[in-house]
Amino acid sequence: MSTLGKSIRLNRILASQKRRVLTVAVDHMINYPVGFPKGLLHMNATLAKIVEGEPDALTMNKGVAMRYWAPYAGQVPLIIQSMALRPDEPDFADTATVEEVIGLGADAIAIAMFVYCDLEMNYLRHLAEVVRIAEPFGLPVIPHIYPLASGDEHNTVLHDAENVFYAARVGLEMGADLIKVPYTGDVASFQDIINTLPVPVVAAGGPRCATLNDAVVMAQDIGRAGAAGATMGRNVWEFDDIPLAIMQLKQAINVF
Q: CA 170 → CA 77, 99, 116, 209, distances in Å? A: 25, 24, 11, 28
- Rounded Cα distance, 168 and 225, in Å: 15
d(CA 140, CA 8): 10
Catalytic annotation on 56?
Answer: no
d(CA 73, CA 68): 10
Single out the catalytic residue among 180, 183, 221, 250: 180
Q: Which of 27, 56, 177, 221 is an active site residue?
A: 27
Catalytic residue among 146, 177, 183, 221: 146
180 in active site: yes
Whether 91 sits among the annotated catalytic residues: the reply is no
Q: How far apart, in whole angstroms, are the C-alpha atoms of residue 196 and residue 200? A: 11
Longest dimension (CA), the chain: 46
Report, as residue numbers or ranges, the catalytic residues.
27, 146, 180
